[in-house]
Structure 1
Amino acid sequence: MTDLAHIRNFSIIAHIDHGKSTLADRLIQFTGGLTEREMSAQVLDNMDIEKERGITIKAQTVRLNYTAKNGETYELNLMDTPGHVDFAYEVSRSLAACEGALLVVDAAQGVEAQTLANVYQSIEHDHEIVPVINKIDLPAAEPEKVKAEIEDIIGIDASDAVLASAKSGIGIEEILEQIVAKIPGPTGDRDAPLKAMLVDSWYDPYLGVVILVRVIDGVIKKGLNVKFMQGGTDHLIDRVGCFSPKRTELAELGPGEIGFITAQIKEVEQAKVGDTITTVKGGATQALPGYKEVQPVVFCGLFPVDANDFEKLRESIGKLRLNDASFSFEMESSAALGFGFRCGFLGLLHLEIIQERLSREYDLDLITTAPSVVYRIDLRASRTDDAAEIYLHNPADYPDPSRIETIEEPWIKATIYTPDEYLGSILKLCQDRRGIQRDLTYVGGRAQVTYELPLNEVVFDFYDRLKSISRGYASFDYEQIGLREGDLVKMSILVNNEPVDALSMIVHRGVAEERGRGMCERLKDLIPRHLFKIPIQAAIGGKVIARETISAMRKDVTAKCYGGDITRKKKLLEKQKKGKARMREYGNVSIPQEAFIAALRMGEE
């Protein structure tokens, strides 16, 4: 049993690639959580994909024991959080379970967009924030300038910010001392009815569902019969423990502590994040506020390249959903691609990660359709149907245009930080994407631009374009600001006069022609030539807005005519012409799977 005054619960928050996971490694090493031999780089990133890309995807928790300079031993519960905007939901959950945060800022890069978004979330939770300026051993490091930036932009005192280098191990002890001195201990009553917040859950093939909890009041121990207040289910706890960072079993978890429990739960659906856990007998009557429900932002179809892999894909998506409850899926079928799933994601990186995990961990070859967002459509009443309001996830389900009264699309407020020299290109990029500029301010030599943008324009390749035109220096964060009416149309792609539903997309009328032309040109290069001419068209309703033609492969039918009258050759050519017309009428164009994948690549020509 640990005294509440000797517990510290804190998160590490920062922009992507500012050194959170490396700092977590040093803290674990310094407090003796792992021996030198057991250490590896980014020890809390337990997926291969996290280590390869150098990003954190899942928030990880570790308990450390630290003996401070005052001679007392403290229990430190550290949560390493993701830095990318797509995983902001993971950050919000971790922050709700803590009393303080380490704000890590790169000494060479300074304050960036995601730093700001995460620190504001932390301030909303009334956290004590300890600023840490990392990577001070870099030649480009400017710690004093970064201190001034933290004070100017965020508005927190950075005069005693810890100067550290997680890679070289500089300033680690000072960080631990600041955590003990500045971050308050948790509050809680050991004798009150049990109240524990369900912070996260994931599926372990040996233990079933493992649940990460933060105990607010009471004590949680093995053999206790507990109730999930939101889920309405009862379970018997068979294991209680913590990660240090190895899984360690404990006798109990008291108030203020963070640890894991297992209760032979087979489905993550039963362990909803944000639920309140209490005892079946004499439990709490009022649930904790929990978290707001996560809403998918980007939708796309996932189809197996080989139709025989559909069952394998269904099984794999189900298993992956056990570890990541933030994406949704439902079955759909396409004339061109067969059976697959319509999946909802928190953003493009999330989509990419799920797709990569499916192909790596479950050995699947997948085709991803063009990502789209959710549109709200008001339909007029017709002779057969009443007026209605529908939410459209899939462009293939676009209703009859004559019935559409209005169509609304989601908009976001984007905050972009960029060095001054790239500002012009970034403003042009935002203007091209139908952006509305709201603010432009300068902090030091860097500009902070605030734009309102349609989410539809951002999900394609906005982030990649932003990084390429700013050579990686610009940073970007966004929040949703609701739906707005727009002049949106469905653009269909027709190959040999047949619509290909997997390639249809909803676009703004102003950019439809340019997008259609780009798609037709790409498909012309990707679809192999057949024995007949193939028209590729982009159309809005019945109006064709772009066209390319793949010329036919020509068989030389006159090769066998040696000399003789010209009419013999003409007769043969005429016969061939009729055959080609018939072939075009009845022939099927086979679009190779690689063509789908390449055509749907979200890049600009």
Structure 2
Amino acid sequence: MPKIRNFSIIAHIDHGKSTLADRLIQTTGLVSEREFRDQILDTMDLERERGITIKSNTVTLPYVRPNGEEYALNLIDTPGHVDFSYEVSRALASCEGVLLLVDASQGVEAQTLANLYVAMEHDLTIIPVINKIDLPSADVERVKGEIENELALDADQAVLCSAKEGMGIQDVLEAIVERIPEPQGDLEAPLAALIFDAHYDSFRGAIIACRVFDGSVKAGDRIRFMSNGAVHKVEEVGVMRLKREPRKVLKAGEVGYIIAGIKTVSDVSIGDTITLDEDPVADPLPGFREVKPVVFSSIYPVSSDDYPSLAATLEKYKLNDAALVYQKDSSAALGQGFRCGFLGLLHLEIVQERLEREFDQSIIMTVPSVQYRFTLDTGETVTVENPQYYPDPVHIQSTEEPFIRASILCPERYMGTVMKLCTERRGQNPRFNVPIPGRVEIIFDMPLAEVIYDFYDRLKTVTQGYGSFDYEVTDYRPSDLVKVDFLVNGERVDALSIIVHRDRARAWAVQVCDRLKEEIPRHQFKIAIQGAIGTKIIARSTISAFRKDVTAKCYGGDITRKRKLLEKQKKGKKRMKMVGAVSIPQSAFVAVLKTDKE
């Protein structure tokens, strides 16, 4: 154990975590120059395209100090986006220390602070690292000042490096060995290991990534999951060195993987404690918090025949993404599907793309919503996240929606545009902090529903990419909410219904009607698309009919003959409109999802 160090890298998104991990892997000689590629720990195509880390990965680095001592450094990589903070909490529960990465030009940002607090909760050793010192815009002294003032850490202890250029990497490795404490654990005690990640392999079943706190585990042992009591026989244990390397035994203090032929995906719950079946530990390990979804959307297969396939896919996906919560759902327009809970809009996008790419599923997602509370005249309080279950307005006494405390850090020159954006989104009670000259922190209380669509994109636009945003859900507050239904040719399409604030209802309805008009093809008859609150129509678009009036047989003669024939055809079209069904293409549901409310 004295030769093991377990650490993680935490930072705001785009401060260079993946690049630093790349350099550490190269410097310790884990991978040859020929096999190396950028973002080597980001294994998904999606991560490479977007330049973000979605899944936390683990790698054991063999480090030899200048004096010849050999160490095993277990790096647990973490995502940086606010939506994936649950990944960070899991990874940090398995570490003794963290590298807190700060961009030398951007400075301390919202997620830097949020991740720091999580690390402090776990009582970890924190090493500040100032990255990107080679940039022309780097201002190391200013960033040191921010580390002192905002993070209350000793800036003199900060390690300077440039992960891209490979400067200062040796200093970072030395700091890990010297400052991060060795893991504590009892080899003789019963086995206690924390599952912090898992992924599904179609040949080996579920592969568990875990940190062993006490005892040891080897092939042939019978292990038990403490949350559900399931027992499995271990087939293989080992460490991750980009590829799986089998070992005879995993001991206290080590981070590695366990393969135990786990066929049913639902057996593994992330954050669970593994112990030996013959000699179990008394209590499960602490340090794991439950994930609370904040954004809800329904997923339906494009073809109803694909429903069993989608159900199996979601079960497999759930293992790779512990934060996804789902239950069965059905819709008159779209058939059988699932109601899913997500951590935020980026999480929703990632889930959608991964289901389509990795599992080859064709899916439709409904408009995202949040959980609303309704107090009925009977005194009962109901929680609704699906507009289909909106209570009868006659019985509603009061309505409440979730509010967040949004913290936005941006340069002072963008303060006016950020204030305007927040007040447009019903922001209340603004507060200001000036952490350092030139930068301002704006804190707003805002409804979560106003943030889940495109707030982050809009913020990046108005601040030219310099604004950073973090939020926490605070409480429920009274609000005037209504349900907007959409009717196509008089038929209500339940999958398009939304719950919105009354002031925004008309703007929403007009946008959706216009989008549907663009997406629904023309028919032989006129189609009315209407947005309605109850029976009151608040928006309308009309798709004009194909003009297929047949007047070829009216050659010569009086105009009245032609008019008579057109009247006859008009009656036929009217009858067709009454019995004709409007086919709504799948693209229409997607178009509504991408509605730009600006």
What range describes the TM-score normalised by the shorter chain of this pair? over 0.9
Does the alignment pair 1:111 with 2:111?
no
The alpha-carbon deviation at position 431 of structure 1 amounts to 0.9
Q: Which residue of 1 aligns with 2:445?
A: 452
Residue in structure 1 matched with residue 246 of structure 2 by the alignment: 249
Secondary structure at the residue paired with 1:154? coil
* 8 Å Cα contact 1:11/1:78 also seen in 2: yes
C-alpha deviation, 1:447, in angstroms: 1.4
One-letter amino acid matched to 1:389: T
Residue 179 (structure 1) aligned with residue 171 (structure 2): no
Residues in 2 aligned to 1:53 and 1:389: alpha-carbon distance in whole angstroms: 42
What secondary structure is seen at the aligned counterpart in 2 of 1:43?
coil
After superposition, the Cα gap between the structure-2 partners of 1:238 and 1:415, relative to the gap in structure 1 and judged at 3 Å, is same
Partners of 1:70 and 1:37 lie apart in 2 by: 28
Name the residue aligned to 1:421: 413
State the match for 1:482 in structure 2: 475
Take 1:362 and 1:280, find their aligned partners in 2: how far apart are those partners?
35
What is the aligned counterpart of 1:537 among 530, 540, 552?
530
Give, in angstroms, the shift of residue 558 of structure 1.
4.1
Which of 142, 146, 154 matches 1:145?
Answer: 142
Q: Is the 8 A contact 2:324 2:340 kept in 1?
A: yes
Counterpart pick for 1:46 among 43, 46, 50? 43
TM-score by length of 2: 0.96
Paired residue for 2:386?
394
Q: CA deviation at 1:484?
A: 2.3
Equivalent residue, structure 2, for 1:193: 190
2: CA distance, partners of 1:368 / 1:226: 39
Q: What is the DSSP-based 3-state SS (H/G/I as helix, E as strand, rest coil) of the residue aligned with 1:371?
A: coil
**Corresponding residue for residue 77 of structure 2:** 80
**2:29 is aligned with 1:37:** no
Summarize the alignment of residues 551-562 of structure 1 with structure 2, pairs less than 5 Å apart. 551-558=544-551, 560-562=553-555
SS in 2 for 1:272: coil
1:335 aligns with 2:332: yes
Per-residue deviation, 1:43: 1.1
Between the aligned partners of 1:484 and 1:344, the Cα distance in structure 2 is 21
Structure 2 gap ranges (5+): none
- Check conservation: 2:406, 2:471, Cα contact below 8 A: yes
Alignment partners' CA distance in 1, 2:430 and 2:325: 33
Partners of 2:68 and 2:321 lie apart in 1 by 41
Shift of 1:590: 2.0
Using the TM superposition, give the Cα deviation of residue 531 of structure 1 relative to its aligned residue in structure 2, in angstroms. Answer: 2.5
Does the residue aligned with 1:120 lie in a helix, a strand or coil?
Answer: helix
Deviations 1:171-218 (CA, angstroms, capped at 9, x unpaired) = 100001111111111212222222222222222222211112212222
Structure 2 counterpart of 1:436: 428
- The one-letter code sitting in structure 1 at the alignment partner of 2:35 is E
Counterpart position of 2:162: 165
Contact map agreement 1:229 1:276 (CA 8 A) in 2: yes
Does structure 2 retain, via aligned residues, the 8 Å contact 1:196–1:277?
yes
Deviations 1:307-361 (A, max 9, x none): 3433332332232223223212233232222332222222111111111111112
Residue 597 of structure 2: which of 584, 599, 604 is its match?
604
Query: Mapping of 1:289-438 within 5 angstroms?
Result: 289-381=286-378, 388-438=380-430
1:386-429 deviations in Å (ceiling 9; x for gaps): x6433223112222111223332222111111122222111111
| Counterpart-to-counterpart distance in 2, 1:36 and 1:529 | 58
Q: Distance in 1 between matches of 2:265 and 2:573?
A: 57
For the residue of structure 1 that corresponds to 2:43, the secondary structure is: coil
Question: Do 2:10 and 2:115's aligned partners in 1 also have CA atoms closer than 8 Å?
Answer: yes
Name the CA distance, whole Å, in 1 between partners of 2:318 and 2:369. 21
Other-structure match for 2:540: 547
Amino acid corresponding to residue 13 of structure 1 in structure 2? I
Q: Aligned AA for 1:328?
A: V
AA partner of residue 549 (structure 1) = T
Distance 1:235 1:564 in 2: 90
Query: Which amino acid is the alignment partner of residue 102 of structure 1?
Result: L
Report the counterpart of residue 517 of structure 2 in structure 1.
524
Report the AA paired with residue 463 of structure 1: Y
SS at match of 2:84: helix
1:533-558 Cα shifts (integer Å, max 9, x gaps): 22211111111111222223323344
Q: Which of the numbers 451, 455, 464 marks the counterpart of 1:462? A: 455
Report the AA paired with residue 385 of structure 2: H
Alpha carbons of 1:158 and 1:340: their partners in 2 closer, same or farther (altered >3 Å)? same
CA distance in 2, matches of 1:243, 1:533: 62
- Identity value in percent: 57
Deviations 1:240-264 (A, max 9, x none): 1111222111222222221111222
Partner deviation per Cα, 1:112-150 (whole Å, 9 max, x = no partner): 111111111112212111111111112222122111112
Preserved contact between residue 13 and residue 102 of structure 1 (Cα < 8 Å): yes
SS in 2 for 1:159: helix
Q: Deviations over 1:6-63 (max 9, x none)?
A: 2211110011111111111111111121122222211111111111211111111111
CA–CA separation in structure 2 for the residues paired with 1:177 and 1:444: 34
Q: Once the 2 structures are TM-superposed, how far is the Cα of residue 579 of structure 1 from its aligned partner?
A: 2.3
Secondary structure, counterpart of 1:188 in structure 2:
coil
Q: Which amino acid is 1:537 matched to?
A: Q
Contact 1:348 1:459 in 2 (8 A): yes
Per-residue CA deviations over 1:496-519 (Å, capped at 9, x if unaligned) read 111111111000011111111121
Q: Deviations over 1:434-469 (max 9, x none)?
A: 112342122231111111211111111111111122
CA distance in 1, matches of 2:230, 2:574: 66
Once residues 176 and 473 of structure 2 are traced to their aligned partners in structure 1, the CA distance between those partners, rounded to angstroms, is 33
How far apart in 2 are the matches of 1:24 and 1:294? 27
RMSD of the alignment, in Å? 1.8
- Letter of the 1:113 counterpart: A
Across the two proteins, how many residue pairs are aligned to each other? 597
- Pairs within 5 Å for 1:499-518: 499-518=492-511
Corresponding residue to 1:492 among 485, 488, 500? 485
Gaps of 5+ in 1: 382-386
Aligned partners of 1:276 and 1:290 also within 8 Å: no
| Contact 1:16/1:82 (<8 A) preserved | yes
Determine whether 1:17 maps to 2:33.
no
Which residue matches 1:64?
Answer: 61
Of the three residues 590, 595, 604, the one matched with 2:588 is: 595
**TM-score normalised to the size of structure 1?**
0.95
C-alpha distance in structure 2 between counterparts of 1:225 and 1:406, whole Å:
54
Read off the aligned partner of 1:199 and give its amino acid letter.
Answer: F
* Contact 1:267–1:322 (CA under 8 A) maintained in structure 2: no
- For 2:167 and 2:429, how far apart are their aligned partners in 1? 42
Superposition deviation, residue 532 in structure 1: 2.1
Deviations 1:478-533, CA, capped at 9 Å, x for gaps: 11113223211110011111111111100001111111112122222222222222
The one-letter amino acid paired with 2:412 is D
